[in-house]
Amino acid sequence: MENELSKSNIPKAKRILITGAAGFLGSHLCDRFIAEGYQVIGMDNLITGDLANIEHLFSRENFEFYHHDVSKFVHIPGDLDYILHFASPASPIDYLKIPIQTLKVGSLGTHNLLGLARAKNARMLIASTSEVYGDPNVNPQPEEYWGNVNPVGPRGVYDEAKRFQEAITMAYHTFHGVETRIVRIFNTYGPRMRLNDGRVLPAFIGQALRGEDLTIFGDGSQTRSFCYVDDLVEGIYRLLHSDYSQPMNIGNPDEITIKQFCEEIIKLTGTTQKIVYHNLPQDDPKQRRPNIEKAQSILGWEPKVNRAEGLKLTYAYFQSLSQESLAKIEHKDFASYNK
Ligand code: NAD
Ligand code: UDP
């Protein structure tokens, strides 16, 4: 009897739904919330994700997985405390290949999940992006900047889906009182990125590992600011538990040109291949760097892992992959992307 009573006094673990769980960021978030003692429900349709990223979680009692497309009605039995909506193609090559699914998961998918959050009285955090700023005229980008986006260009399917996602999330917050959080994620990297997703870091490291030339798009003077995945996850964890419902930038403000970045990868990998230059894809942002003053003052957050450290960890991951997965790159995708 005493045992029964003391069992019922144990607080129930919080239940969290993570969409895009089999992807790069979703899988790291699953790891973090499992480690914090949450009951984690992963959901993914595997369109750009890989079960290998969460294979190690299937034996855990506090993890379950639904193979489901969130652009269709989402049902989760039982209570739900939090939703992290990370499902969406995220690399320019992916969203060029599957533009309609990209629009749907950002719009219909977000609507479905907000409906679920409302029904369950759950707090929902959405993964927005620095792409809402488009090709920015202001550098660094503060959250107040409205952006410079071409809605009908190749990146429009992603950028506008994410802008709609922010708008509908804010509307559910304002009109239905749903507890919402919006993180604007800047270029993040780390283990479990897909080697053939076309993003610049897996592209360069994959080329070095396969003994191919490294492809810079344009003259390499465009800039990006790369954040290591553990830092991002910490920022998201803090934002979710804060009471801040306006959009918040999370990223590493250490800005670098793509040419310098390529040279760092050449040094890191020791490749003897040369750099080759291709056309710059349409609407490729010329500069990108987060203003993180809000994250610093409201969450007490700032990135801790510098690029040298983060790149070493990421390179070790790619080196550990089999020869078979190294060969997976689809060259035809590069050819159609930057013509
Ligand atoms: P990813 O492609 O590795 O992961 C996305 C996951 O979502 C994949 O597992 C994919 O299968 C899944 N998915 C896509 N459509 C789905 C659908 N309709 N239903 C269910 N699952 C679906 O990409 P990522 O880098 O992990 O990005 C995750 C999220 O973070 C995305 O929303 C992306 O826009 C956002 N984001 C990422 C970055 C970054 O630098 N990695 C930057 C800004 C924003
Ligand atoms: N890029 C490049 N070579 C590649 C892949 C990408 O020079 O093989 C450039 C791309 O044109 C962009 C930057 O690297 O300027 C970052 O591209 P990514 O696709 O990683 O993300 P983005 O920040 O553009 O969404």
pLDDT tens digits, 203-246: 999 999 999 999 999 999 999 999 999 999 999 999 999 999 99
- Does the active-site annotation cover 158? yes
Strand, helix or coil for residue 72? coil
- Sorted by where each begins, the domain ranges of the chain are 13-334
Q: Containing H/E element for 19?
A: strand 15-19
CA–CA distance, 23 with 335 (Å, rounded to integer): 25
Domain 13-334 has CATH 3.20.20.70: no
Q: What is the pLDDT of residue 12?
A: 83
Residue 322 pLDDT more than 80?
no
Q: What does the pLDDT look like over 241-262, one tens digit per residue?
A: 999 999 999 999 999 999 999 9
Q: What is the dihedral of CA 305, 31, 288, 334, to 10 degrees?
A: 110
Peptide bond just before 136 cis, omega within 30 deg: no
Provide the strand spans (E) within 238-309. 247-250, 255-257, 275-278
Q: What does the pLDDT look like over 257-304, one tens digit per residue?
A: 999 999 999 999 999 999 999 999 999 999 999 999 999 999 999 999
Whether the Cβ atoms of residue 89 and residue 144 lie closer than 8 Å to each other: no
Catalytic residue among 38, 158, 228, 315: 158
3-state helix, strand, coil split of the chain in percent (to 5) is: 45, 15, 40
Nearest CA-CA partner of 86 in 17, 15, 168, 149: 17
Distance (angstroms) between ligand 1 centre and the Cα of 208 equals 25
Q: What does the pLDDT look like over 68-100, one tens digit per residue?
A: 999 999 999 999 999 999 999 999 999 999 999
CA–CA distance, 106 with 165 (Å, rounded to integer): 6
Residue located nearest, by CA, to atom 23 of ligand 1: 90
Residue 101 pLDDT more than 70?
yes
Q: For residue 195, give both structure tokens.
A: 């080697």
Residue located nearest, by CA, to atom 33 of ligand 1: 90
Query: Does the beta carbon of 287 lie inside 6 Å of ligand 1?
Result: no
Q: Which atom of ligand 1 is nearest to the CA of 185?
A: 43
